[in-house]
Structure 1
Amino acid sequence: MAASLSFKRSDSVAESMPEALRQSRYQMKRCFASYVSKGKRLMKNQQVLEELEKSMDDKVEKTKLMEGLLGYIIFSTQEAVVLPPFMAFAVRPHPGIWEYVKVNSNDLSVDGITAAEYLKLKELIFDEKWAMDDNALEVDFGAFDQSTPHLTLPSSIGNGTQFLARFLSSKLNENSESMKPLLDYLLALNYRGENLMINSTINTVNKLQTALLLGKADVLGLPDTGGQV
């Protein structure tokens, strides 16, 4: 889409979307009225696109919008939360980059929101009482994430298995005895008696190291997909 060429990685959806909406204000008022008319719900990308196209009867205007910045934002929307009169969008404008915005269907005003705020709106669809409870249980997995490496380059997306195999095998080579807790953790991961990560026969650090090295060789032998998912 042509608009993607002008939408830079430094651009903010929250800052760019208001002007994009103003350029097709009449059509967008009709579109958002259609979105919120069915009440609160969760919409996937295809639903958002289909309802947008149905609300526009002017083919020339539709083509102009879909090939413009607003079309790019809508195409980049992974899902949307509808809570009349508001609609919140989870947008991935670039690989690995997420933004969240909330649009008021009455005046098309746009506000940038955090991931936590978006999730709270999403919870309101399914259980309003629980979502508004300040004492509701929340689990923070950040503590488990501190020592785990992260893929920071968009070109690395799609190569997570290869990256993880390299990371684990390098750690095992550094100090095999220190990796015993990791082995125990992987063995303990199961669902209804079925192992999730490794076979129960891999019960020593040396066996795990060998399995990872073999897995690494298999992954490296796969065709290069250019980092695409």
Structure 2
Amino acid sequence: MGTPKLARIPSMRDRVEDTLSAHRNELVSLLCRYVDQGKGILQPHTLIDELDNIVSEDEARLGLRDGPFGEILKSAQEAIVLPPFVAIAIRPRPGVWEYVRVNVYELSVEQLSVSEYLRFKEELVDGPSNDPYVLELDFEPFNADVPRPNRSSSIGNGVQFLNRHLSSIMFRNKDCLEPLNDFLRAHNIKGM
């Protein structure tokens, strides 16, 4: 029995490029529809609706919807359109985000970092800027002592998770009850 080979999972950029080479005309037609709507933010339902419109016009384009690019659009959270570019924020699974920008006229695809995507998104309001200084806030120091849920079933239950964590700390350590008592004494209503 042979040993299984590990294959590299293609990035979103690779998937878009593969779709571009396999369905060039269909993808250009779809991206041009996005650009024709003018600059702005497109919601996921708009992205899917335009894809369905392309397919309904010509059944030969069914491969675009059922292929890798259709999967990309199904996991897309938004698209930023600044002609000639369409940038797509993709969330393939919980906690994982990828950003891809396509130049519709040159048919070039590039992977964007979070900062690059946000800077591109800000250009909707501010226009192109050569300012190298962009406000970025790093909240990582605040997360140092807080555990993170690591199961996908915990998604959406963050407040409950945090309450359990904080209450377990509070009741394990008797010194932690004193600030709670002080808080309750200071915030009384009608003597209660």
- Could you say which TM-score interval applies, normalised by the shorter chain? 0.7 to 0.9
After TM superposition, give the deviation of residue 177 of structure 1 in Å.
3.1
Give the superposition deviation at 1:172: 1.1
Counterpart of 1:165 (choices 143, 163, 174) is 163
1:11 shift after superposition: 4.1
Of 150, 153, 173, 1:152 maps to 150
Preserved CA contact (<8 Å) 1:34 1:55: no
**Are the aligned partners of 1:40 and 1:125 in contact in 2 as well (CA < 8 Å)?**
yes
Q: Do the aligned residues in 1 keep the contact of 2:26 with 2:64 (CA within 8 Å)?
A: no
Structure 1's unaligned 5+ residue stretches are 1-7, 184-200, 206-229
- Supply the AA of the counterpart residue of 2:141: A
Per-residue CA distance 1:128-184 (angstroms, 9 max, x = gap):
26x653445443322322222222333332332332222111221232535878x6x
Distance 1:32 1:202, change over 3 A: farther
Aligned runs of 1:1-229 on 2, under 5 Å? Answer: 10-56=9-55, 57-62=57-62, 64-128=63-127, 132-135=130-133, 137-178=135-176, 203-204=183-184
Does the 8 Å contact 1:96/1:157 carry over to 2? no
In structure 2, give the amino acid aligned to 1:203.
F
The residue identity in structure 1 corresponding to 2:162 is: L
Whole-Å separation in 2 of the counterparts to 1:19 and 1:176: 60
Give the 3-state SS of the residue equivalent to 1:30 in structure 2.
Answer: helix
SS at match of 1:39: coil
Alignment check: 8 A CA contact 2:27 2:64 kept: no
Asked whether the 8 Å contact 1:88–1:118 carries over to 2, the reply is yes
Equivalent residues, number: 178
Q: Give the TM-score taking structure 2 as reference length.
A: 0.78
Q: Secondary structure at the match of 1:203?
A: helix
For 2:42, what is the secondary structure of its paired residue?
strand
Q: Distance in 1 between matches of 2:121 and 2:9?
A: 27
* Cα distance in 2 for residues equivalent to 1:47 and 1:134: 33
Report the CA distance shift for 1:135/1:11 in structure 2 as closer, same or farther (over 3 A).
closer
Could you tell me which amino acid in structure 1 is paired with residue 76 of structure 2?
T
Distance 1:147 1:81 in 2: 35
- Report the Cα distance in structure 1 between the residues aligned to 2:158 and 2:168, rounded to whole angstroms: 15
Share of identical aligned residues, percent? 38
* 1:192-222 CA distance string (max 9 Å, x none): xxxxxxxxx99249xxxxxxxxxxxxxxxxx
CA RMSD in angstroms comes to 2.9
* 8 Å Cα contact 2:52/2:65 also seen in 1: no
CA–CA distance in structure 1, aligned partners of residues 74 and 108 of structure 2: 20
Cα distance in 2, alignment partners of residues 106 and 179 from structure 1: 64
